[in-house]
Amino acid sequence: MSVVFLSTGPPTVNVEKLRSVAKSYGVVVDAHEEEHYRHLLNGLDATSAVIDALPAYTDPRLLPDPSTLPRTYERLAGDADKNPLNSWSHQTTITAPKALSSKLDGKKVVVKDNVSIAGVPLTGGTFPELLTGKNEYPIPQIDAVVVKRVLESGGTIKGSANCEHFSMSPLSFTSASGPVHNAWLQGYTTGGSSSGCGAVVAATQVRAWRKKYGLPLNDSELGEGVEMAIGGDQGGSIRIPAAYAGIYGMKPTHGLIPYTGIISLLPLIDHTGPMTATLEDNALLLSVLAGYDGMDPRCTPETPLRQNVPDYLSLLDTWKAEREATSQWTPDSAGKGLRVAVIKEGLGVLGLSEEVKKIMESAAAQFKAIGADVQEVAIPMHVLGPAIWTVVSRPCIVSHGLENRVTPMLQYAMPDVTPPVFDQKAYEILNKHNPAVVNMFFNGAFMNEKPDANVALAKAMGHVQQLRDAYDGVLKDFDVLLTPVNPRVGSKHPEHTMEVDGKMEPAIGATLNTCQFNVTGHPALSMPAGWGKAPDGTGMLPVGMQLVAKRFDEMSIFKAAAAWEVAGKGLDKWNGQLN
């Protein structure tokens, strides 16, 4: 292999720098060889300077449609009057005058505040100095692919929704702008890290539900809502807030929806997907967002081209119509032919409350009642899933996520996100607002300092495939798998002044039924299954169930969910009491 340097200029690298570089490896270079290696380093430095001098290049496919410009916005984060749930980060109104289709006509969509909207500040749920090392948030020059696809389909981008600090909390009290409240009960978690997405869609859900039951509207407690949101999920961050918020949240198959233009945590586990007030809207939005974009390395040969993406809602409607034509779309026959596997280990995870377990048993019984074949199956590796997810993610999540270092694959690299070095000042801020991020830095250093760090990572990666095979083995005989989402009914926000353990304890166990499917890539939907009593209070809060299918088989999930709801939707299992 030959190396060509573009330098003929004066030397910029001295011997001291060479020695420093060698010392980082514990190497001492022989004195008579130092000049040779110094010369090579100097050539590299000069070559690097050539690239440094070039202007940044932005892929024109990501530039905003000129017809949608100029854009204005209002920051609502922390504004208790306009934003009582603290669900909104920035509010705007962006439409495309000449959309390519009318699929989303009349639909309002928000995106998690780690998704780029050209001209609108991006926060990542943290403080600007931790995201860029400056006092101001970056303002992207590009629209993320999911944003472009919403606009091209006739939808309106209404802004960004608050998210948890660096997307690292399954609960909703760590955002830099303060806690995000549950739309059903103020002061309680709405789940994270796509917390604002959950709350802003739930505001729409609550209004419709209260109207249905003839209850007084509580608009002043909710703020503005939307029908649809686009969340992010690395360990459960779409499904968990969807469960606590009583809405529908789909973590699609890994690589089905491009992640281009979204702040990453780790490509292996990065997912983005729809969070909606209805199942039908979830199917609709998924068909708009899905399909290869030619830029995201998370996409694979299995990812469909845009023109080959299924029209999930149309297919669902056709399937329903076929059953209605044969008088099967009834509460006792809608599920005939469906095969549902209840994962035994999912009902035994650490911290799962008896109340949530009973709701899951009732959900399984409802599948039986509609004529589905329901069986409890053992998947022993399900219990190991969280450990596999942890060991696979910890060594690299700091570098690729919290430091935004570019992976060695062609991609859009989010150049405006330039976190500074983790130091004492960063520690003190993060320790106060979200100790989970501090823990992640410590975890990464601890794992990478092990002499056998790469061996452990390689072994864990092998077990990812084994875990995928375990689920696929069961899915040969079943259409969907069933587990709980949230292990407990939503908790109260902890006091901001609590010590680390007080802030971390409520989140323990939250991802034990969700993170497995981030590493295996299977699609998983959270949907309302019933109600539970709020702890430390007299209110009621939604509880979610999770349906999982084969990779790229989101259609089976939509069918099973729709059939289940023929016998009664989860939010309709209300006992007549809110307090």
> Domain locations in the chain?
15-52, 60-572
First and final C-alpha spacing in the chain? 73
- Tell me, rounded to whole angstroms, the distance of Cα 566 from its chain centroid: 29
| pLDDT tens-place string over residues 305-346 | 999 999 999 999 999 999 999 999 999 999 999 999 999 999
- Tell me, rounded to whole angstroms, the distance of Cα 140 from its chain centroid: 20
Note the pLDDT of residue 498: 63
Contacts of 322 (CB under 8 A, 6+ apart): none
How does 159-189 read in b/e, with b if 16+ C-beta sit within 10 Å?
A: bbbbbbbbbbbbbbbbbbbbbbbbbbbeebb
For residues 471-483, give the mean pLDDT.
Answer: 98
What residues does 231 pair with on adjacent strands? 273
For residues 101-122, give the mean pLDDT.
Answer: 98
- Percentages helix, strand, coil for the chain, rounded to the nearest 5? 40, 15, 45
Long-range contacts of 31-36 (CB under 8 A, 24+ apart): none
Sorting pLDDT into bands at 50, 70 and 90, what band is 4? Answer: low
For residues 455-462, give the mean pLDDT.
Answer: 96
- Degrees (nearest 5) of the Cα angle 482, 483, 488? 150
Contacts of 324 (CB under 8 A, 6+ apart): none
Q: Locate 502 and state its tokens.
A: 């007080």
Residue 112 a catalytic site member: yes
User: Most distant CA pair in the chain: distance in Å?
Assistant: 89
Distance CA 142, CA 213 (A): 43
Residue 237 a catalytic site member: yes
With contact defined as beta carbons under 8 Å apart, do 529 and 513 qualify?
Answer: no
Q: Choose, from 193, 287, 333, 526, the residue flagged as catalytic.
A: 193
Sorting pLDDT into bands at 50, 70 and 90, what band is 568? Answer: very high
Residue of 213, 246, 274 whose CA lies nearest to 540: 246
Q: Choose, from 160, 172, 195, 237, the residue flagged as catalytic.
A: 237
Amino acid at 240: I
Q: Residue 1: pLDDT above 50?
A: no
Residue of 493, 429, 502, 557 whose CA lies nearest to 195: 493
Q: Choose, from 103, 107, 108, 112, the residue flagged as catalytic.
A: 112
For residues 448-468, give the mean pLDDT.
Answer: 95
Q: Locate 350 and state its tokens.
A: 């650490």
Say if residue 26 is exposed, middle or buried (CB neighbours under 10 Å; 0-12, 13-18, 19+): exposed
Question: What SS3 state is found at 477?
Answer: coil
Q: Locate 36 and state its tokens.
A: 């040779």
| pLDDT tens-place string over residues 54-95 | 999 999 999 999 999 999 999 999 899 999 999 999 999 999
Number of Cβ atoms within 10 Å of the Cβ of 45: 16
Sorting pLDDT into bands at 50, 70 and 90, what band is 12? Answer: confident
Distance CA 56, CA 436 (A): 34
- List, in sequence order, every beta strand (DSSP E) within 256-372: 271-276, 339-343
- Tell me, rounded to whole angstroms, the distance of Cα 107 from its chain centroid: 21
Residue of 306, 314, 85 whose CA lies nearest to 185: 85
Distance CA 224, CA 242 (A): 18
Note the pLDDT of residue 10: 66
With contact defined as beta carbons under 8 Å apart, do 197 and 229 qualify?
Answer: yes
In the chain, % of residues over pLDDT 90: 93
User: Of 63-67, 320-324, 444-448, 538-542, where does mean pLDDT reach its minimum?
Assistant: 538-542
Number of Cβ atoms within 10 Å of the Cβ of 69: 10
User: Of 199-203, 292-296, 497-501, 534-538, where does mean pLDDT reach its minimum?
Assistant: 497-501
Note the pLDDT of residue 114: 98
Note the pLDDT of residue 506: 78
Q: Residue 577: pLDDT above 50?
A: yes
Residue 491 a catalytic site member: no
Distance CA 21, CA 250 (A): 47
Distance CA 563, CA 322 (A): 13
Distance CA 193, CA 175 (A): 9
Note the pLDDT of residue 578: 64
Beta strand 339-343 with 248-251 is unpaired
In degrees and rounded to multiples of 5, residue 251 shows phi and psi of -90, 105
Pick the CATH number of 60-572 from 3.90.1010.10, 3.90.1300.10, 3.40.50.11540, 3.30.1330.40: 3.90.1300.10
Mean pLDDT of the chain: 95
